[in-house]
Structure 1
Amino acid sequence: MGKNRLEAFSDGVLAIIITIMVLELKIPEGKGIEALLLIFPTFLSYILSFIYVGIYWNNHHHLLHTLQKVTGPVLWANHHLLFWLSLVPFASGWMGANPSAKVPAALYGIVLLMASIAYHVLQKMIINAQQRSSTLKQAIGNDTKGKVSMLVYLTASGLAIIQPWIAQALYVILAMLWLIPDRRIENMLYSTEKDGKTIK
């Protein structure tokens, strides 16, 4: 299988995930501003989840640029990532409908944690497929940012049982940290002209 087909399939799944999320925004029954306020938590949850899916799409795009061949482990690791991302609309909708509830906030964090782990596994499978010549390994190094993010997701999920708003605040903070696409891979793959010198 060529990597273009894998990328096209992944793009299609992520597009469907976003579509499902927006369909969760039900039309208010009333005609006044108070009707909109009733769905405001769900709307905020949708915005946060849209940002997360967008982050994964951006970084997944860069990740697949390093892929030289699609192996079986890479294929299944990619499916594993898409599985957890496909649960984002469910977790997002439940948390949005119950913004002060503990379990929905914890579940949202668990889904984000598992998606983060799945992305890390996909990175490992690509590196293993590339072996010693791994461009991805050179680009991400120890992937400190990714590992710290997993730890924060885990911590936030636990804190949700105590105070859901603390967990939700941590989810927002992590989204802001990842909002700018990961440039490590892009910087490794492409060179730019600056002050007459080529910088890798």
Structure 2
Amino acid sequence: MMETERFEALIDAILAIIITIIVLEIPLAASGSWEALFEIKYEFAIYAISFIVCFNFWNFNNNIFSIVNKIDNKVIWTMGISLFVLSLLPYLTTFVAENFYVFFPQFLYGLNFIVTAVLSLIIGTFLKQADPGNIALQIAIKPQPMYSTIIIVAAGMLIGYFAYPPAIIICCLLSIIGVWTIPKLINV
């Protein structure tokens, strides 16, 4: 079993790099006009969503790891895989921004959400196993927010496939809102 401080610092560093790459991928406006800025609206919108994704990932993990006392290799490796999946976000952000109304880029972006949610479920299980005496951790880790992410994004994929591809990214954004509101609704 290991302490968590260095591991948390690694997660923070990787997320900072991912956000930096995403922001560097936003193209500059062709000129100093509002029209030129409006031409890159999709690039900026998808950047904003990707930033929220990274911040949400950091915030969720920061809150969980604030009560974790011990981790093991299963937690480390699963989190490493999760960070790898999340590190594809800069590429997917650009891919969606350049093909905003195309299903496949939107699908891959949504798939990134679903895989990250599944890995978060696995990490939650491994964290509970690594620190079984930690009652606060056992209570804090709930699968419902991750299930809601999977369901909401999958619904967006269906809508995106049959009708409107940007529904996927809209559902990705809605799933982030769900991660923070569903636990509060469950506790009411």
TM-score (norm. length: structure 2): 0.87
Q: How does 1:4-83 map to 2 (within 5 A)?
A: 4-83=5-84
- Runs of 5+ unmatched residues, structure 2: none
CA drift of 1:133 comes to 4.3
Distance 1:134 1:124 in 2: 14
Distance 2:125 2:135 in 1: 10
Task: Give identity over the alignment, percent.
Answer: 25
| Residue in structure 1 matched with residue 147 of structure 2 by the alignment | 147
Q: How does 1:1-200 map to 2 (within 5 A)?
A: 1-131=2-132, 133-141=134-142, 143-162=143-162, 163-178=164-179
Task: Describe the shift of the 1:133–1:159 C-alpha distance in structure 2 as closer, same or farther (beyond 3 A).
Answer: same
Structure of greater Rg: 1
Deviation digits for residues 111-130 of structure 1, max 9, x if unmatched?
A: 11111111111111101112
One-letter amino acid of the structure 2 residue matched with residue 146 of structure 1: M
CA drift of 1:146 comes to 1.9
Distance 2:23 2:126 in 1: 32
**What RMSD over aligned residues (CA atoms) do the two structures have, in Å?**
2.2
Task: Describe the shift of the 1:8–1:113 C-alpha distance in structure 2 as closer, same or farther (beyond 3 A).
Answer: same
Deviation digits for residues 76-122 of structure 1, max 9, x if unmatched?
A: 01101111111111111111121111111111100111111111111
Runs of 4+ in 1 over 6 A off after TM superposition: none
Give yes or no for contact 1:103–1:160 (8 Å, CA) kept in 2: no
Give yes or no for contact 1:106–1:157 (8 Å, CA) kept in 2: yes
Q: Figure out how many residues of one structure are paired with residues of the other and give that number.
A: 183
Q: Give the secondary-structure state (helix, strand or coil) at the position aligned to 2:131.
A: helix
One-letter amino acid of the structure 2 residue matched with residue 85 of structure 1: L
Distance 2:176 2:69 in 1: 29
Give yes or no for contact 1:107–1:157 (8 Å, CA) kept in 2: no
CA drift of 1:157 comes to 2.6
- Runs of 5+ unmatched residues, structure 1: 184-200
